[in-house]
Structure 1
Amino acid sequence: MDYRKNKTPLFFMVVIFLGLCLQLPFQTLKKLPVHQRVSVGEKLDFDLRLPKFLAHNFEFTIDGVKPSTFYLGDTTPVAATPGELEVKVKLFGLIPLRYMTVSVVPEVRVIPGGQAIGVLVESEGVMVVGRSAVVDEKGVRHNPAAEAGVELGDVLIKVNGEKVETESQVRDLINKLGQDGKPLNMEFKDRHSQEIYKTIIKPIYCSETKRYRIGLFVRDSTAGVGTMTFYDPQTRAYGALGHIISDIDTCQPINLNRGKIIGARIEGIRMGKKGQPGEKLGVFRGEDDISGNIIKNTNCGIFGKLTKEPNNTYEKETIPVAMAQEVKEGPAEIYTVLQGDKIEKFAIEIQQVHPQGRSEGKGMIIKIVDPKLLQKTGGIVQGMSGSPIIQNGKLVGAVTHVFVNDPSRGYGVFAEWMLYDSGTLPKQLSGRNCEKLTLLEISPAKLAKI
């Protein structure tokens, strides 16, 4: 028998076997975020669950130094003081596979929330949320604004150089200036580019409303009930909602002009079911309970400073905030209010974790498993957004969205991402996301024809 002829199949079998063994770690390495953050004293986990006979072929180095115990499958402290570390992964100690930056940040401690809050927002200018044809005295239909290129979601800033802030102001101004029979110089902010553009629109006298109009529906403010996620008793900085406040009609982020939060009380629950998410039915209690301003409206929530701290808390003392890579699949809890102003704790399960994702409120998938919460709400409901998620004694995130076809499941945002947007930590990455269904119930009030 010629053994030389049998070596080729054996060689290919060995190559295929090694390829299959290395496929899993290569795929997992790609999923590791290029930039991670850990708190001082925490451990960084690079466990790719490799067989022991392969683990020694992969090597990690931190800032060029190979720790004697820092191999795949092990966990090791990265640093005792804040700073930036460069981490490299090599195959056989020679072939570079992955480069990562690890930021070691000071431990951040906050008081977790769970309080029901009323959110009152006045936007910059007035937002275009619909079109309405103007029928003149001859019965002819016109839409001057649409012909001028104005789109839904654009924001009207000025009319003939005068800054506008409320829908009633815009309505009266257009009617008054329209009586002169001259076109109006109008400034809008484009919904896509956020750049200001100017256009000329001539109002038409509307036979239906008996005043001059340009053919738009506009809204100047919004209000709703949500949940506070955390606050810092030293700086009085807070975070809430976990997602951006968007207009319910255009799904466009609201440009903040003035806004505040106040205390709220939950009067009832409309249960959610498949295809029809439920909601908390709340009323505003006023500024004697909770009050604060809104400085930022971002993909990860609203942020500002409290002028009046909450009277009720579930946790009296501060707890650590977990970095995204510390969050694990498994059991956790949320704090939220179902009746009155009483904060309760309910069991959930973190089913998926995506620490490499963008800061858009989709860092994790959660499932409500608490029988009491499921019985009362059917799962995640509107008004629950911002409810803090606690795991192993740390604030790991907040509830943000519900799955319409399965109200027991939804998304959560990482607390770390909320810290970026609050300014507590330097911001890393940001993404823009606009869900058709977020968990802040937007009031349709103050809608006007202009």
Structure 2
Amino acid sequence: MGHKKNETLGIILCIFVVAIVSSSSFRTAFSFPDAISVAAGELFAIDTGFPVVSVYSPRASSVERHPIGNLPTKVVFDAEEPGSFPVEFRLFGLIPIRRVSLVVEEPVMVMPGGHSIGVILRSHGLVVTGLAPVESIDGRQAWPAKNAGIEAGDVIISVSDQKVKSREQLSVLVDAAGRSGSWLSVLVEKPDGSMVSKVLMPVQHKDGGFRIGLVVRDSLAGVGTLTFYEENSRLYAALGHLISEGDSRRPLIMKEGHIVRSTIAGVQPSKKGQPGEFLGMFVEDHDEIGNIIKNGPCGISGILNTSLVNPFYSEAIPLGLPNQVVKGPAEILTTVSDRRIERFSIEIESVFSGAGVSSKGFTVRITDPKLLSLTGGIVQGMSGSPVIQNGRLIGAITHVLVNDPTRGYGTFALWMAQEAYIVPDSGYTSYKAAVKILEEQE
């Protein structure tokens, strides 16, 4: 009898715990990052909704209590001055379950972009963009490079102790080794920076030459959009997403890179199931406007070497924070013809609160009739187009939904600014700290 009673109590206790953890107030408490960034002068509220979890802070400007238990479930902060304030969540007003900090700092001011740019990245070897079978003279398919463990995204540094700088040089070395019956020793740099040596035997192709089944490039070039830059330091952020090799989704190992002015000569509109693209024209070593220091999850960044003009914003505007992004109307700046920046209306449909740093922080829908008629929605080359809402630069367009090109994803401007050293990862501060970080990198 006692055993059954304990078993029943255990089941009830499990149900009780699951109910607590599943409650909206409990999930709210754990939806915030450890440090909540807020711009000075902004009202900010934390509302758990129900007293399963209550919220406390000695610096709250006002507190709302729930009728049940008279426990505080909503605190409002009037963030007038910079500082860091503690916030504590308690279970039933008694048991502390989480502590976070509310960090209030002066907003960073940035100049909006929208400029079409040509992006050129060069590696210190040959970048493996893909693997291909070698059709041998006896009709079989061989995969020498794949079987040796070489993958897309790797960089070929040297072959048989000779540094390789071009596809032609690689072909000559491979063919010579094949004709002499020698094994090739290939030094490969992996995306994590490690160096590994691979040994493989070239296979004679049906055309008579020898190959190892690699598709390589010595540089990458494409069209994108500049998102924003900080006037004093000229640090910029663009694209909003990582530049990766082929289908590997791994970052290109970059030796150096730069951005140049691009001219949009035409548009191939997007259709359902078929993303379109901007037809941009640029010359790799002409009209350079900045270097590329970093290729990260939220795009590329570097330092501009010239001033840029935006016809809609002659002065800098505040960099928006993720918690300031709301569902509703917004605008994007992008270039759809020549070098002329235009503004178009969009709708922010959802915001992913508590999301980790990535190229997908919110979803958007293109609503502007003119842009829809010109592009069919989001197209390749639009990545990096700044998103502005309520006078703040809050993010950038990053991806298109293939089955509905009128919709797509955006990343938060704060994440891009952190990767660009405009804002350090630990907070929301001025460019002076960012320049210090940049100097340490060099």
| TM-score over 0.5 for the pair | yes
Deviations 1:227-261 (CA, angstroms, capped at 9, x unpaired): 00001221111110000112235443211122111
Aligned-residue offset at 1:214: 2.0
Mapped contact 1:113–1:313 kept (Cα < 8 A): no
Count of residues in correspondence between the two structures: 403
1:75 aligns with 2:68: no
- 2:372 is paired with a residue whose SS is helix
State whether residues 33 and 355 of structure 1, in contact with CA within 8 Å, keep that contact through their aligned partners in structure 2: no
Alignment of 1:29-428 (within 5 A): 29-48=29-48, 50=49, 58-61=54-57, 65=58, 67=60, 69-71=62-64, 72-78=73-79, 80-82=81-83, 84-91=84-91, 93-134=93-134, 142-190=142-190, 194-208=193-207, 210-284=208-282, 291-427=289-425
SS at match of 1:59: strand
Shift of 1:74: 4.7
The amino acid of 2:90's aligned partner reads K
Q: Distance in 1 between matches of 2:162 and 2:44?
A: 56
Cα separation, partners in 2 of 1:260 and 1:388, compared to 1, 3 Å: same
Separation in 2, partners of 1:165, 1:110: 39
What 5-or-longer segments of structure 1 have no aligned partner?
1-11, 430-450
Q: Is the 8 A contact 1:55 1:73 kept in 2?
A: no
Q: How much does 1:341 deviate?
A: 1.3
The answer to which of 414-423 and 229-238 deviates more is 229-238
Deviation readout 1:346-370 (Å, 9 max, x if unpaired): 1111111124111111111111111
Q: 1:216 to 1:290 in 2, by over 3 A?
A: closer
Distance 2:422 2:33 in 1: 21
Asked whether the 8 Å contact 1:300–1:418 carries over to 2, the reply is yes
Q: Which deviates further from its counterpart, 174-183 or 417-426?
A: 174-183
1:60-109 superposed Cα distances (whole Å, 9 cap, x missing partner): 21xxx264614444531346225x44321235542324322333344211
What is the deviation of 1:304?
0.7
Opposite residue 197 of structure 1, the aligned amino acid is V
Q: Compared with structure 1, are the counterparts of its residues 285 and 158 closer, same or farther at alpha carbon in structure 2 (3 Å cutoff)?
A: closer
Whole-Å separation in 2 of the counterparts to 1:285 and 1:343: 20
After superposition, the Cα gap between the structure-2 partners of 1:351 and 1:380, relative to the gap in structure 1 and judged at 3 Å, is: same
Taking structure 1 as reference, are residues 69 and 300 closer, same or farther at Cα in structure 2, changes over 3 Å only? same
1:102–1:158 distance in 2 versus 1, CA, 3 Å: farther
Unaligned runs of 5+ in 2: 1-11, 65-72, 428-442
Partner Cα distance (2:410, 2:138) in 1: 55
The TM-score, its normalising length taken from structure 2, stands at 0.82
- What letter matches 2:62 in structure 1? T
Q: CA RMSD in A?
A: 2.9
**Distance (Å, rounded) in 1 between the aligned partners of 2:47 and 2:188:** 52
Do the aligned partners of residues 92 and 312 (structure 1) sit closer, same or farther apart at CA in structure 2, a change above 3 Å counting?
closer
Q: Determine if contact 1:263/1:287 at 8 Å carries over to the other structure.
A: no
Q: Which amino acid aligns with 2:394?
A: V
Distance 2:141 2:416 in 1: 48
Fraction of identical pairs, as percent: 40
| Aligned 8 A contact 2:90 2:96 in 1 | yes
Q: Which amino acid letter does the alignment assign opposite residue 186 of structure 1? A: V
Q: Say whether the 8 Å CA contact 2:60–2:75 is kept in structure 1.
A: no
Bigger shift: residues 182-191 or 108-117: 182-191
Structure 1 runs (4+) greater than 6 angstroms displaced:
285-288
Structure 2 counterpart of 1:128, which letter?
V
Code of the residue aligned with 1:59 in structure 2: it is: V
- Looking at structure 2, the residues matched to 92 and 79 of structure 1 have their Cα atoms a distance apart, in angstroms, of 31
In structure 1, how many angstroms separate the alpha carbons of the residues matched to 2:61 and 2:259? 52
Counterpart residue type for residue 198 of structure 2: T
The offset of 1:55, in angstroms, is 6.8
Q: Which deviates further from its counterpart, 366-375 or 311-320? A: 311-320
Flag the 1:92–1:223 CA change in 2: closer, same or farther, 3 A. Answer: same
Shift of residue 219, structure 1, vs aligned partner = 2.1
Pair 99,180 (structure 1): closer, same or farther in 2 beyond 3 Å: same
Measured in 1, the distance between the counterparts of 2:230 and 2:45 equals: 28
**Contact 1:385 1:401 (8 Å CA) reproduced:** yes
SS of the residue corresponding to residue 256 of structure 1 reads coil
TM-score under structure 1 length normalisation:
0.81
Question: Which residue number in structure 2 is paired with residue 440 of structure 1?
Answer: none
